[in-house]
A and B are shown apart, each in its own frame.
Chain A
Amino acid sequence: MVPLEYYLVVAGIIFTIGMIGVIVARNIIIIFMSIELMLNAANLAMIAFSRNLGSMGGHVMVFMIMTVAAAEAAVGLSIIIALFRNRDSANIDEVNLMKW
């Protein structure tokens, strides 16, 4: 059996990649996809812990996270559509009305 730590390392790397994407990317759709990446890394850690502890709680938690991700994708993408309709661009540098 593959040790738990290996899965956690992979989850950590994927989470970090997602975080870098959120900070660095300028395209709002790429930022959104990076958020999905981070959610998935959390899912992987949950399942790994669940296997290690022999308890099914993690599976149910992942189920909930998937529901949240679906809801978030629906609302977020409609926000992107509304934004694109107003600004005619997917670049977040042009959305600076509330920037300090």
Chain B
Amino acid sequence: MELAIFILTSLVAIVAALLVILQRNPIASVMYLVTTFVAQAILFIQLRAAFIAILQVIVYAGAIMVLFLFVIMLLNLRREDFGKDIKLRFKPLAIAFAMVLLIETLVVINASLVPAQPGADLSATFGSVQGVGKELFTTYLYPFELTSVLLIVAILGAVVMAKKKL
């Protein structure tokens, strides 16, 4: 069961990743990228990394991809910039795949919530918000503080780059 879910999910991730670079229309590419990220989030849950999986969906598939979409729409690309598109004409198939992905997510989440799971070698808080937070604020406190500097630099850089005239 676990192996079947792994194979299905990674197939979805790989096919969607291929479509990201094969599509000419950037908006379609962003949508396939979101699919890859969600499939990877399922793999993360399977690896008992619940917190990272949620971060993946919220930060990656949510925030960063919306930023991409926003910029693509801001650029106002012309249709002839894209070239030919690879059309997917299998709408029922696409819906079926989406359903499979959804059911997989539910099954995996259900399985990882059961406390008496195999991972007996792991501590109870492995991958949870509590576990990651404790690591982040004790062992890795200094790098964690440094990320704030990185974010400040990124904000300043984005403002400077996008400004018409300084």
Binding site for B on A (CB under 8 A): 1-2, 6-7, 10, 13-14, 17-18, 20-21, 24-25, 27, 29-30, 32-34, 36-37, 40, 43-44, 47-48, 50-51, 54, 56-57, 59-60, 62-64, 66-75, 77-82, 84-85, 89-91
Contact = CB atoms under 8 A, between A and B. Distances in A.
B85 interface: no
Nearest to A18: B17
A14 B13 contact: yes
B135 A89 contact: no
A78 B162 contact: yes
A56 B132 contact: yes
* Secondary structure of the A contact surface, majority rule: helix
Q: Chain B's interface: helix, strand, loop or mixed, by majority?
A: helix
Given A56-B127, A75-B154, A66 B10 contact: no
14 contacts: A1-B2, A6-B6, A27-B26, A29-B75, A40-B40, A44-B44, A47-B47, A56-B132, A68-B150, A70-B59, A73-B68, A74-B157, A75-B158, A82-B162
Interface of B: 2-3, 6, 10, 13-14, 17-18, 20-21, 23-24, 26, 29-30, 33, 36-37, 40, 43-44, 46-49, 51-52, 55-56, 59-60, 63-64, 67-68, 71-72, 74-75, 77, 81-82, 118, 121-122, 126-127, 131-132, 135-136, 139-140, 143-144, 147, 150-151, 153-155, 157-159, 161-162, 164
